[in-house]
Structure 1
Amino acid sequence: MRLERLRIKGYKNLRDCNIEFHQPYLLNAVIGNNGSGKSNLMEAILHILIGVYFKKPPPFDFSFDFEAQGRHIALTGAKRKLSVFVDNERKPLDFFAERLRDGAAQVYFPELTLVYYSGECQRVSRLMATYRRHFERLTRKPDSDRHRPLFVQSSNAQAQVILLALFAHSHRGLTERLGLRKVVDVSLVLRSPSGFDPEKHEPKLWNTVGAVRRAVAAIDETATSAESRRLDRRDAPGSESGLAYTEHRTYRFGDEVHADKGLDRLAERLTKGGDNLYLALEHLRARGIFASVSFRLIGRADDKPFEFDQLSEGEKQLLAVVGALQLTNRPDNLVLLDEPDTHLNPLWSWDYPSMLTEALDVEQRRRSTVLMATHTPIMISGMTSDQVLLAHPPSDGAPAFTRPRRHPRGQGIANLLCSSEFFGLPSSLDKETQRLLDERLAISVKRELTEEDRERLKELNTQLEIFLSPGISERDPNYVAFLRQRHPTV
């Protein structure tokens, strides 16, 4: 997907937002103070796409132009009415929305919209939950049970499943970057779905259908071993009438000699059916069938296995975004990331654009867009001005988003931090050091120094651990002349 134009009127603090995307870049960033509308922009895009999918206009007027799968799409919403144009030809909304349900044959939306929010956003969660419920019903049907979801939301809570899927499907780039070599002692726990009645339904696959049945069968038939535990529900408060028990099955993969062989077989089986382990388990989770996963990791400095919970929050965040993108990407993608760097160290932030780029192949990069909100200057330090949107607080007559006049690329982190155009810090130094420097400057530009001034300059130079030759304390005439030109009123 390539973004072209977006107008939003009346969504939260986006009173009259007009954005032009003149150049098709893979990576795009939105920066601005808290409350300036960065997250609202991505929420609005999601509102539009999911709203059109369900033929329900979002609660604001908009126009949205983009290129998806080689077609130019123009979506408009005005006074709660939707209109759709494909390659400048008007299409009936019913026809357009129905074609979005054609699975691999749909050609009007990006094949994947991946969403990540570092914090909680109930509005986005509700939108995604509505789509997940619909998709679960859609894939119960035999003619659509192999469809892949158009919208996927990743989170740090899914990082464990994502890491397991990366190993299962041999995506080694990110795992090697994290210093992880293999997984061992893999166990998956599934439980019988709500509505399963052992007295009426076949017990092996719990009377599941479609994509869910295919995933349960793949796990059941490739596991090294399985254990079943039944919990009696006849007398349990709130239990459904006629349901004798809930079954919990623990599936184990591999053994001490072949720790990952069962996992390899599971991945191969799912791949042949057009699935992967991450999407399959999340699909089972949505149905209440996937209960938990556990495994241990080998890597780091030695061969001693350790638990997943020993990974840092930064490592989990990389898995939730970069790992999810590797597992879900399609030829045509839209990726919406809200502060995906909150737990990353500076080195990973510096390398993050490369990680996102490397998660896609050359053709995918040409046909995809990543839009991310960030507060980190490192993240935009390699971008051009056409890749950056500056978000501004609501103001009468002022645009909600503008492009910077200068390219962030080549300016350096300190300059980006202190530039009023970007992050607007008063100084790249801490407050106390800057206060001492300001005091030293105020003394050094005086035409006449008292003995007290000279002593104070010595103290300041000592405190700042600056040793200049000739030093400021010696009143270097060239430096003082320069300062007086800069500060003529002193």
Structure 2
Amino acid sequence: MQLLRILIPTFRNLRDLDIAFATHSQPTTSATDVPPKPIRSHALIGQNGTGKSNLIEALITIFRDVDLDRDAAFDFTLEYSIRGHVVRIEADTFKQKRPYVWVDGKVESQGYLLKNRELLPAHIFAYYSGRNERIEVLFQEHQRRFNQRQEITTDEVLSEQLLENFTGSESDIRAVEEAKRRHESRLKQAGDDRLRRLFYCRGGHSQLVLLACLLSDDPVFQKVLKNLHIESLESALFVLKEPYRLREKRRSGKFDEQELNEGDPRFWYARGNVVSEFLDKLWQVAWAPIEQEATKQIDFRGRNEKQKQLYLFVPSQEKLKLLGELIGSTDSFFRYAEGAYIGDLIDEVRITVKKRDEHGGKVSFTHLSEGELQMLTVLGLMRITREDQCLFLLDEPDTHLNPIWKLRYFDDIEGVLSSDDATMVQSESQIIITTHDPMMVGSLKREQVYILRRDGNRTLVDIPDEHPQGMGVTGLLKSELFGLSSTLDIETERRLFRRNELFVLSPRSPEENEELSRLSAELADLGFSTADFRDPDYAMFVRKMAQHRRFRKPVLTLEEQAEQDAIADSIIDEILREEDGE
């Protein structure tokens, strides 16, 4: 999966957006035998309000509407490559509601993509460091259909009552055929993916990701745990609750006979694969299941409700491994556990782990830092959903990370998506990250970075002139990527401007001489010596640059940066010409 180009005339604050994504980075060496390296990680940067998060939302909306066979929500053109094909989707809502589709240049339809789902990303995975209800709502329909599929069982095709009363008559044959059609219709509506195509990472996923890492021998999972200094599981208490939909049925007495026959009374008559493939196995390995009714606060207003709860205690790493073996694989464990979480059956998992640090001992999951949880969740989920041809959309995933983790973030991502498995295609999932942190982009090539900015009523996208690699944080902040005129604090910068202004002033009054001496002494204590002014060339440069007062502000636009650079170059050329003339 590789995005090639996206054009959006209008979406929220995006106007005339046009991004052509680079697919390969050119080698820095001049050797002709070094092939270009595929690019699968891109960073979107830009000031607040330039539309970075809106671009993430637009991409999710496009694929959501295609996957649900809906009308286009706005005009766009999206082109991407996948499994050796090039797909172009173009929406012009003035001409028709459904988008136009081309596959390898041949005109097709949105329905064609749904029939040939290998032409769509295996998963669109989205993460936002915080709460973003506008993004969350885009995933609700896929979540609803996922829940619906969990409860569809084979017995619903031909119920026991239908089979017991089957006489072979024409009416009974029609009843069987009708039951099959209803079942197939429900399956089609629910969707075919065991892990839904659109996946939004929520807070509760971090607990399940940690358990998946702990029960797996995958070296990538083990590396994630090592980075967090986690050695093994001490214990896990699964707190299950009666789902709202089943609680309402129980209270109103609306359970039908089929639901009572197929449902599991241990889990409030819930049914489907989540119960049979996960909760039943969890019951087998857990110690002493305990039932209780608890009063829970359900919102920030302090409103409470009574919930029937079930405690299932997994006492050790060995028991967790056994649970994984009973379910079949790490991926299956996560899918079924996540199904129980999304299906409102898991309220929380209280995890205690053993940590490798100077203190050692046991640490509760709730004591992990926000940064640790952020790295665990993102990298763990990327590994679990590492199927070929995925699109990962990460909106500011670096919020709580320390500088070391930020600097190696893209390297960690590459490690998570790589595999020693020769059957897996390595470079065909794409990651798009929005960020405001220069440390996040310090390891990237220029082809991987896109700078969003406003130009009147248009959204412009620029690629840096230089590679961010090797520039350092200060260089990045003062470059076109972030546009700071200086990395100094405003007060120190003000004093430097004033000192230089007084230095080039001639003649100076006694008060101005006294102010210059005072500022020079203060700045010398901070490491800004006036010794450089003894160099006549440098002194001349300062005098001439000091005349351009319009550049004395914290942030410069790209045009102002270019103009300042041009003026500086012209001053240097003038100084060199004067020296040559001498």
- What is the TM-score with the length of structure 1 in the denominator? 0.85
1:316 matched to 2:327? The reply is no
1:399 to 1:438, Cα distance in 2 relative to 1, 3 A:
same
SS of the aligned residue for 2:7 comes to strand
Range 49-58 or range 292-301, more displaced: 292-301
One of 266, 281, 287 as aligned partner of 1:218: 281
User: Which residue of structure 1 lines up, in the alignment, with residue 341 of structure 2?
Assistant: 285
- 1:220-299 → structure 2 map (5 Å cutoff): 220-223=283-286, 225-229=287-291, 231=293, 248-254=309-315, 259-272=316-329, 275-277=332-334, 279-299=335-355
User: Which residue of structure 1 lines up, in the alignment, with residue 226 of structure 2?
Assistant: 176
Aligned amino acid, residue 385 of structure 2 = T
1:63 is displaced (CA, Å) by 1.7
Aligned amino acid, residue 416 of structure 1 = L
Rounded Cα–Cα distance in structure 2 between residues aligned with 1:425 and 1:468: 19
- 1:355-374 → structure 2 map (5 Å cutoff): 355-361=412-418, 365-374=426-435
User: Which residue of structure 1 lines up, in the alignment, with residue 487 of structure 2?
Assistant: 428
User: Which residue of structure 1 lines up, in the alignment, with residue 503 of structure 2?
Assistant: 444
Aligned amino acid, residue 468 of structure 2 = P
One of 435, 454, 460 as aligned partner of 1:393: 454
Rounded Cα–Cα distance in structure 1 between residues aligned with 2:75 and 2:140: 23
User: Which residue of structure 1 lines up, in the alignment, with residue 477 of structure 2?
Assistant: 417
Q: What do the CA deviations read for 1:287-308 (whole angstroms, capped 9, x no partner)?
A: 1111211022221322221222
Specify which structure has the higher proportion of helix.
Answer: 2
Identity of aligned residues (%): 27
Q: What do the CA deviations read for 1:453-484 (whole angstroms, capped 9, x no partner)?
A: 554444334423256888368x5545424433
SS of the aligned residue for 1:173 comes to helix
1:146 is displaced (CA, Å) by 7.3
Contact 1:167 1:182 in 2 (8 A): yes
One of 99, 115, 120 as aligned partner of 1:82: 99
1:347 is displaced (CA, Å) by 1.9
- What is the TM-score with the length of structure 2 in the denominator? 0.73
1:273 is displaced (CA, Å) by 8.9
1:96 is displaced (CA, Å) by 2.7
1:317 to 1:468, Cα distance in 2 relative to 1, 3 A:
closer
1:179 is displaced (CA, Å) by 1.6
Aligned amino acid, residue 435 of structure 1 = R
SS of the aligned residue for 2:483 comes to coil
Rounded Cα–Cα distance in structure 2 between residues aligned with 1:17 and 1:426: 27
Contact 2:113 2:120 in 1 (8 A): no
Q: Which runs of 5+ in 2 are unaligned?
A: 25-38, 155-186, 295-305, 550-582
Rounded Cα–Cα distance in structure 2 between residues aligned with 1:312 and 1:250: 26
1:483 matched to 2:542? The reply is yes
Rounded Cα–Cα distance in structure 2 between residues aligned with 1:416 and 1:467: 22
Q: What do the CA deviations read for 1:71-118 (whole angstroms, capped 9, x no partner)?
A: 322222221222333333333433432444xxxxxx121222210012
1:158 matched to 2:205? The reply is yes
Range 281-290 or range 204-213, more displaced: 204-213
Contact 2:124 2:197 in 1 (8 A): yes
- 1:49-64 → structure 2 map (5 Å cutoff): 49-64=63-78
SS of the aligned residue for 1:409 comes to coil
SS of the aligned residue for 1:393 comes to strand
Range 181-190 or range 400-409, more displaced: 400-409
SS of the aligned residue for 1:303 comes to coil
Range 197-206 or range 401-410, more displaced: 197-206
1:405 is displaced (CA, Å) by 3.0
1:12 is displaced (CA, Å) by 1.1
- 1:375-386 → structure 2 map (5 Å cutoff): 375-386=436-447
1:352 is displaced (CA, Å) by 1.1
Aligned amino acid, residue 344 of structure 1 = L
Rounded Cα–Cα distance in structure 1 between residues aligned with 2:222 and 2:88: 39
User: Which residue of structure 1 lines up, in the alignment, with residue 13 of structure 2?
Assistant: 13
1:370 to 1:81, Cα distance in 2 relative to 1, 3 A:
same
Contact 2:72 2:99 in 1 (8 A): no
Rounded Cα–Cα distance in structure 1 between residues aligned with 2:503 and 2:203: 53
Contact 1:13 1:394 in 2 (8 A): no
1:280 is displaced (CA, Å) by 2.4
1:411 to 1:303, Cα distance in 2 relative to 1, 3 A:
closer
One of 467, 474, 481 as aligned partner of 1:407: 467
One of 106, 111, 116 as aligned partner of 2:122: 111
Rounded Cα–Cα distance in structure 2 between residues aligned with 1:371 and 1:17: 16
Rounded Cα–Cα distance in structure 2 between residues aligned with 1:31 and 1:467: 32
One of 303, 307, 313 as aligned partner of 2:360: 303
**Moved segments of 4+, more than 6 Å:** 143-146, 467-470
1:327 matched to 2:384? The reply is yes
1:158 is displaced (CA, Å) by 2.8
Q: Which runs of 5+ in 1 are unaligned?
A: 101-106, 233-244
User: Which residue of structure 2 lines up, in the alignment, with residue 103 of structure 1?
Assistant: none
Rounded Cα–Cα distance in structure 1 between residues aligned with 2:403 and 2:352: 28
Rounded Cα–Cα distance in structure 2 between residues aligned with 1:402 and 1:115: 24
Contact 1:31 1:389 in 2 (8 A): yes
Q: What do the CA deviations read for 1:419-460 (whole angstroms, capped 9, x no partner)?
A: 3x3212231111111122222222333455666555444433
Range 459-468 or range 184-193, more displaced: 459-468
Contact 1:113 1:151 in 2 (8 A): yes
Q: What do the CA deviations read for 1:114-173 (whole angstroms, capped 9, x no partner)?
A: 100123322321111111111222343558887232221113443233222211224111
One of 380, 398, 403 as aligned partner of 1:341: 398
Contact 1:15 1:394 in 2 (8 A): no
Aligned amino acid, residue 443 of structure 1 = L
Aligned amino acid, residue 230 of structure 2 = L
Rounded Cα–Cα distance in structure 2 between residues aligned with 1:273 and 1:119: 27
Contact 2:22 2:448 in 1 (8 A): no
Aligned amino acid, residue 382 of structure 1 = S
Q: What do the CA deviations read for 1:18-63 (whole angstroms, capped 9, x no partner)?
A: 2212324111011111111111111111111010011112321112
One of 28, 46, 49 as aligned partner of 1:35: 49
One of 124, 128, 133 as aligned partner of 2:139: 128
RMSD: 3.0
